[in-house]
Amino acid sequence: MAKKGLGKGLSALIPDVEEEKSREVTEINLKDIKKNPYQPRKNIDDEKLKEMLQSIREHGVIQPVLVRKVDQGYELVAGERRMRAAQLARLEKIPAVIRDFNDNEMLEISLIENIQRENLSPLEEAEAYKRLMDEFGFNQGKIAERLGKSRPVIANTLRLLNLEEKVKDYLKEGKISAGHARALVSIEDMDLQREVADEILKKNLTVRKVEGVLQQLKKKREKAEKEPAKKPKADPFIRDLEEKLCRYLGTKVKILEGKNKGKIEIEYYNPGELERITEKLFNL
């Protein structure tokens, strides 16, 4: 299936004022337009919505929304903030361009349009990238090419999906920044990740401070890995029992303890010695 102009962004899909001079614009009743079922943005910034509302009250809707025809009306493709502001302004109609898109095209357009216009939060953007990969077979390189971003930017954004759930909430609520989140995601221990996030809130740590904390944690971990593991202290009762068995059997005996079980190792060096040891064991 051929994509309609997505290779160079959405300029061929998302209309602007200049383009509409050569394209038919239709006035559509707002009540006939249904919400976009593929909208990746969960929330709209209240301040930006108020700014849009004020602009519409003063100048009207300058840029048409993009819709597709569906049964019993239309479905919004792009321009949700304009439509919401027009509803708040109590307009009955809104200028629109009607285009023919199937479900797959509409999903892809909705995702890329929001990403390109920077309407999404960092997590929403990461989720949008993941949907492009899962539902359209995009890889990170293809997403980077479509959006004009570098591949590392795409990769770092996708990594935000690996954050601990509470840390994700902090990011969604704006309690930590995307910079904080990118630093925290390098902590694989989820409990520790959340502890550091709590410290950020408690002490109002900057991203640079957090990166310093993580460097210290990394050095401690590397030092611990280099140091030989300390042997657990031997149980005096076990060591005493080993010595008694060694004297009785006349050979080296080792008792190995596990968490819920253990084993006894008895050494012998030839068949004759094995026979001697077994005779002693049978005579116990």
Catalytic residues: 80
For the chain, give the percent of residues with pLDDT over 70: 86
- pLDDT interval class at 117 (50, 70, 90): low
List Cα–Cα distances, 54 to 44, 81, 88, 138, 189, in angstroms: 16, 12, 10, 39, 47
Question: pTM higher than 0.85 for the full model?
Answer: no
- pLDDT interval class at 8 (50, 70, 90): very low
Q: Across residues 168-197, what is the average pLDDT?
A: 92
Tell me the domains of the chain and their CATH numbers.
6-120 (3.90.1530.10), 163-223 (no CATH), 236-282 (no CATH)
- pLDDT interval class at 163 (50, 70, 90): very high
Distance of CA 16 to the CA centre of its chain: 33
Residues 170 and 217: their CA atoms lie apart, in Å, by 22
Q: What tokens appear for 160 in the block?
A: 């935000």
74, HSE (Cβ side, Cα atoms, 13 Å): 24
Residues 276 and 262: their CA atoms lie apart, in Å, by 24
